[in-house]
Each structure stands twice: as structure tokens, then as C-alpha cells.
Structure 1
Amino acid sequence: MRPVGVPAEAPAVLATHASATVDATVQAPVAYLRTPVLLLMAVATGLCAGSNYFNQPLLHSIAVGLRVSEAAAALTVTLAQVAYAFGLLLLVPLGDKLERRALAVGLMVLSALGLLISGYAQGFGMLVAGTVLTGLFSVAAQTLVPMAATLSDPRRSGQAVGLVMSGLLTGILVARSVAGLLSGVGGWSMVYRAAAVAMLVLAAALWFALPRSRNPSPASYLRLLRSLGTLFMRHPRLRSRALLGALSFGAVSVLFSTMALLLAGPGYRMGDAAIGLVGLVGVAGALTASVAGRLADRGWGQTTSTVGVLMLLASWGLLWLGIDHLGWFLLGMLLIDIGLPSVHISNQNVIYQLAPEARARINAVYMTSYFTGAASGSALGAFAWRHGGWQTTCLFGAAVALLAGVALVYDQRLARRSAD
């Protein structure tokens, strides 16, 4: 069966010398991916990424259902993130060694197995096992993103990455709200069971939609892992953009770790459902990722990064005013959710050009830094809230955004040096 989006008359191999952005050691795809396939990849990445966030609104129900404390139930949130970090380091680099379609689909099937174990958990230990498996193998999302860059028209690779990343970011933001609604209909276990079925359906669709693709000269697994450090040291802009990504996501995570505390407090007194609906404001921001990708393709990547960082910084002023005014809070949240993908997509547009033959490993290095920043931002937000409330939280968030601006200035200097 011919992959979806691949015309019958397409040549078997595209000449890699047609684009300076594609390294000669990278096997050329049968044909460039078309929009329907990219949309399918976007949905798949959204579900993979979102599967690690289903448990956040369900902690009380899980604690009651499995007869454990809420503190124990909350441990599953940490385990999911830790497992995801290990997957980024240990599994994502395999995209530069194994056949990429089989790798992505195989990881999704294993992630679905983890969801099924969680959905049919009869005890807390079984839920922990399912959570760890899901988190570890849900990095399938991070194998699909570099595939979008590798298998797309080099002139539109930023747009392709932006489209797939829109799905990933939307999945993260929508997961909490969807989980709350499904739990209200059929209990917390229904969330995991439904997600597992959806994951298997999408894995099957991707198997038939994606062309086969692999690095024709793969290194051994140990060499791949060692090369992560080599790539990090060899490319200064990988370091600068990884730092920029970590600080940007860290600034946003300060908000995500504390907004529920503000909205549930005496100023707003919102319930879980209402807080979840407020979170949907960020979906509009996630959908701008494709716009950021188009701008990067047109040579506006640095400008997009600058505007994104300025949005992150300005949003904290609006969020400060939002302590007792929902309109300001929603506007600040929208701005921060537009700024983050603007920085993130322009980051990926830069790093994927550094070593086209090692995009999976480049992505592993960058995303590990990215989610380390997120974890650090969450911890910082919790610390600020505990010691000074919302206004102190806003000051900490603004400080991290300001540091992101410093990292961007450093990256721009590196860009000018490389251009000279």
C-alpha cells in the first residue's frame, strides 16, 4: 500500500543536493509529506504528550478509588515527568538509528499498553507501573517532530514543524479538560481506557500514512548516546537555544504550577471544571505555532523569538493585575501562551539546521533541556507562592522571562558571528 500523501508518479529518491539544508548522509524521503499526513502527526503528538497530563485533574478521584492518600496519588504526576525525561534521553536518539516509522508506531503501541494498565489498575502499584510505561514511551511525540522536518519540503520545514507542534501543545493544554469531562461521565479509569484505544487507532493510521525512512549510516546505540554530549559541545547555538527554551518554558511553568491556587482561592473561588475551562484559553496560543513556523521559513526566526520573549515578559505584568480581575488574567494567560510557541518553534527551526543528519539527537538534547526548565519553573512557582503569594509569583515569573531575554541576546550574537 502506498503511503498517504505520496503520489504514484513520485520518484523513488529525491536528490539531496537540491537543498542546502539536507545533509548528503540523510536518506531522501520518497516524497514530501503533505498537509493531511502532517495533521495526523499533529493529532498523534497531541495525544502522546497529553497522556502525561490526564492524571492532574483526577488525583482526588484516583486517591478515593484506589484508597491511597492524595499525596501518594500526586506522586504519579512526578513519575510521569521523570519517565518522560528518561525517554527523551534513552529512546528519542534511536530516531537516528532505527527505521523512523516503525520506531514511532512501536513507541505509541507501548504507550497505549501503559494507558491500559492504568485504566484497569486494581491497586496503586499497578497504576504506578502504567504511568511509568506511558511516560517513558509517550516520547513517540518527540520522534514525530523531527520526522516532520526531515520528510517535508526543506523550504517549508518550519511550517511543518509548527503544525505538528501545534498538535503537541494543544494536546498538553486540552488533556486536563478532556480528562475531567470523561471522568465525570465514566470515572477516572475511563479516561485511560479511551486514550489507549485512541492511541492504537492513531498508531495504525500512521503506519499506513508515513513512508519508511531511516539514516542510511546509523551508529551504534552507545555511540548515539555519547554523541549527545558531543553535539551539545560542538554547536554553540544548540546550547544557547536549549537555554532559551528552558527559561521560556520555565517562565510559563511558574504560571501553570500556581494558577489553580489563585483561581481556587478567595479572590475567584472557582471549581475544578471552571479552572479547566480557563486553561482552554491557551489553546488559541498553541494554534499560533504554525504561524511561527511560517515566519521562520521566511527568515523571520530571530524576530519571532524576540517578539515571543517580549510577550512572555509583558504577560507577567498583566497577570499581576489579574490578582482580582479575571479579564487581565485571561489576557496575560493568552499572551504567555502565544509567546511560548513563538520562541519554541523558532528554536527548533534553528537547531534542526545545525546537524540535519542528527535531528533526532539534536531534538533529544533540546527537549531534555526544555522539560528540565519546565520542572524547575514549577518548583520555583510553588516556592514563590508559598512564601509570598501571587504577586511574588509574578515577580519570579517575570525574572525568569527576563533571563530568557538575556539568553536570546547571547544567541543573536552567536548568529552574527556565524554569519561573518
Structure 2
Amino acid sequence: MNTESPKLSSTVLWLMTIFSALIVANIYYNQPLLGKIATEFAVSEAAVSKITVLTQLGYAAGLLLIIALGDKIMRKRLILFDLVLVLAVLVWMATADKLWMLFVSSFLLGVTSVVPQLFIPMAADLSTPENRSKNLGLIMSGLLLGILLSRFVGGIVGDLFGWRSIYWAAAGLMIIAWGCIYRLFPEIKPNFTGNYLSLMRSVWQLAKTQPVLRLAAFRGAMGFGSLCGIFTTLAFHLEQPPFEAGPSVAGSFGLVGAAGALSAAFVGQLTRRWEVNKIILVSLCILLGSWLFTYLGGNTYIGLIFGIILIDLGLQSTHIMNQSDFFSIKTTATSRLNTVYMVSYFIGGSLGSWFAAYAWEFAGWGGVCAVGVIFASLALFAHLRYAYKLKRN
């Protein structure tokens, strides 16, 4: 790390954590609200589910096209410019009166809501070596809480004030975030001197030459696809008998998932006793086994609660260990390693949402569970097939 770089103050660290939660939440507010959106625009549930798919595809595109720029241009300027775009897209979503507008704005919201992934390498550069892991862990906790609690908040606000109100509220929060970042965040000089094309080539080169990174990316993609399958269709499932529940109930399952996901924050302590590959194996088995509860108990709140806790526990444990695995690669291009991984992660999520939406239309809850099992099984198969072979090599 450049010794002339400013240090990471506790104020900036906590603002990064809070703003990571608020910005990433923009991507997930829609999930408990899909039923209300479908009703307003008089379209099928499968059609309106494209909103979730497009948001995740947009996020993957933003990760690929924007995050690597943090190595090339001033990060603070990039973050501030990006937040202006986020604000504009949120206002468009809140005022959209055509379904195609929601599709386009959802994709663009995903593209622009990548600021937390700019915070992470920024915090790494500003941290001392002894505090780096702790600081990054705090930001990741904020990111995780934003993902999970956004479903709960989106459902409650949507039930009380209509689905558009959450996007107006989010726009106001982005204005506050912009002002705080402008006044309080330090600036860091870029460390890549090539052009944008060469920057993108370096990302592709990492993907081609690092098998550990490719395996982590595939496990992450399939695991996240498994999770997104259930949250994309959960609102539709809960609208039907025996539940007949609205968006606030669907959103509350974000709180349920938070219990499992936050438990995964302690998985790093297991590395003192177990190797990374063993922890990933157990985590993927938990993820796969969670679908047994979700399918057999799918018509009861207890079954869904246990299933979602285990899905989030399995996925987030795998996610943390995946990052530990590929960040151990000896290279200074950590932002670009994260670009490869996170792009793959959200492509997997969009595929899981897409397949689950169509499975719901043609096969109901059983079809959704089948999609989740397939995605989790692919992650487990790849791990068993390649992880220990790579370790031997």
C-alpha cells in the first residue's frame, strides 16, 4: 500500500458500511413487490419477474464495466458520478408508467448500483495490514444486511404506501449519501496507467489463467442462482393458499434469511481447524439440503423459515470462503479478481431468477425447488470434481 495514502478513519469506515447497505438495497426492493407490480400493469407473474432478472444482469454488467475503472481513475470522483446516475434511475423507476420503462430502468439500476464494490478495494488500500480483514469484514456485513433487509423494508413500505414509494425514499437516501461522500471521503490516486481496453483485457486474462478463481466464480454463481430462485418466486407462493399473504410477509423473510447469513460471518473462525475446501464442502451440502425443508415444508411457515435460514447460511458461508480462496492468489490486481468473481456471481443469480420464474409458471413450487436443487448440485459437483485436484497441483 502506498504509504502516502490517507488512513481509513472510523467515520469513513462506518459510512462505507452504511452506504453499502443502502445502495445495494436498491437492487432487491423489487422482489417482494412483484405481485403488486404485476397487478398494476395487468401482466403475468412470469412477465414481471423479468424485472429481477434484468436488475441482476445489469449489476453483472456494472461490475464488469465499472468496477475495474477504480484502478484507472479517481475512485471518489467515480463514486460521486455513479451516484448521480443511481439517483436519476430511481426517479425514473418511481415515475414509470409503462412496463418497458421498468424493464430498462431496472437494468440500469443494476448497472449503476455497484458503488459498494468500489468501497471494498478503496477500504483495502486505506487500511493498515493488521486492520484490513476486520475493516473489509465490516463493510461486507453492511452489504449483506442491505441485501437481506431490503426485502423486508421493500415489502413493508410497498404494503403501506405502494410499490413506487420505496424508490422515492431510496432516491432521497442517495442524495444524503452523495453529500457525505463528497465532504468526508478521501481521494486515492489510480494505480493502473493503461487504457480502458487494456484494463478489460487484464480482467479477461485473470479469468483465463487462474483456475482457482474460475472454480470460485462457478461455485458462487450456482449458489447465488439457487438463492435467487426462491426469493424471485416467494411473493407469488405466499399470495396463494394456505398463506394468502401480501408483500410485507414476503419481505419479512429477508429478516429470516439474515439470521442464517449473519451466522455465516463467523465461518472464518473455522479456518483455524478446517481447511477452506472442507468448509466449502460442508457449506454447499447445507445449501443443497436446505431445499429438502423448502420443498417438503413449502406450504408451512416453519418449513419455509428453516429452508431459507439454511439456504442463506450455506450460500454466505460458501461466498466468504470463495473470496478467501481467490484472494490468496499472489497478485496485486485484487479489484480485477473481484470483478471476475462478482460478475459471475450475479450472472448466476440472474439465471436462477429466470429459470425459477418459468418453473413457477409451468410447475409451481415444486418446479422452483427443482431449479434450486439443480443449481446447488452443480456447485457441489464442481467443487468435488476440481477443488482437491487444484490443491494437489
2:142 pairs with 1:167: yes
2:316 pairs with 1:327: no
- Quote the Cα distance in structure 1 between the aligned partners of 2:276 and 2:4: 26
**Post-superposition shift, 1:34?**
5.4
Q: Is the 8 A contact 2:229 2:372 kept in 1?
A: yes
The equivalent position to 1:70 in structure 2, one of 12, 26, 43, is 43
1:243 is matched with 218
- Quote the Cα distance in structure 2 between the aligned partners of 1:380 and 1:127: 20
Equivalent residue letter for 2:127:
S
**Where do 1:23-42 residues align within 5 Å?**
27-28=2-3, 30=5, 33=8, 36-42=11-17
Note the alpha carbon deviations across 1:222-246, whole angstroms, 9 max, x for none. Answer: 1011222111111111111101111
Equivalent residue letter for 2:147:
I
- Quote the Cα distance in structure 2 between the aligned partners of 1:329 and 1:132: 29
1:43 is matched with 18
TM-score by length of 2: 0.86
**Post-superposition shift, 1:93?**
1.1
Say how many residue pairs are matched.
390
The structure-2 alpha-carbon separation of the partners of 1:219 and 1:357, relative to structure 1 and needing over 3 Å to count, comes to farther
1:411 is matched with 387
The equivalent position to 2:109 in structure 1, one of 126, 134, 150, is 134
The structure-2 alpha-carbon separation of the partners of 1:283 and 1:212, relative to structure 1 and needing over 3 Å to count, comes to same
- In angstroms, what is the RMSD of aligned CA positions? 3.0
Note the alpha carbon deviations across 1:169-205, whole angstroms, 9 max, x for none. Answer: 2222222332233334444333222111211212332
The structure-2 alpha-carbon separation of the partners of 1:166 and 1:109, relative to structure 1 and needing over 3 Å to count, comes to same
Q: Is the 8 A contact 1:158 1:296 kept in 2?
A: no
The structure-2 alpha-carbon separation of the partners of 1:135 and 1:247, relative to structure 1 and needing over 3 Å to count, comes to closer
1:102 is matched with 77
- Quote the Cα distance in structure 2 between the aligned partners of 1:122 and 1:396: 32
2:93 is matched with 118
**Post-superposition shift, 1:400?**
2.5
User: Which structure ranks higher in relative contact order (CA pairs < 8 Å, sequence separation ≥ 6)?
Assistant: 2
1:8 is matched with none
2:335 is matched with 360
2:316 pairs with 1:344: no
The equivalent position to 2:206 in structure 1, one of 231, 252, 257, is 231
Comparing 149-158 with 120-129, greater Cα deviation is found at 120-129
2:178 pairs with 1:203: yes
- Quote the Cα distance in structure 2 between the aligned partners of 1:392 and 1:129: 28
The structure-2 alpha-carbon separation of the partners of 1:88 and 1:296, relative to structure 1 and needing over 3 Å to count, comes to farther
The structure-2 alpha-carbon separation of the partners of 1:128 and 1:402, relative to structure 1 and needing over 3 Å to count, comes to closer
The equivalent position to 2:252 in structure 1, one of 272, 277, 283, is 277
**Post-superposition shift, 1:51?**
0.7
2:123 pairs with 1:148: yes
Secondary structure in 1 matching 2:332: helix
The structure-2 alpha-carbon separation of the partners of 1:42 and 1:304, relative to structure 1 and needing over 3 Å to count, comes to farther
Q: Is the 8 A contact 2:155 2:249 kept in 1?
A: no
Gaps of 5+ in 1: 1-15, 17-26
1:20 is matched with none
2:167 is matched with 192
Secondary structure in 2 matching 1:51: helix
Secondary structure in 1 matching 2:8: coil
Equivalent residue letter for 2:382:
A
The equivalent position to 1:82 in structure 2, one of 54, 57, 61, is 57
TM-score by length of 1: 0.81
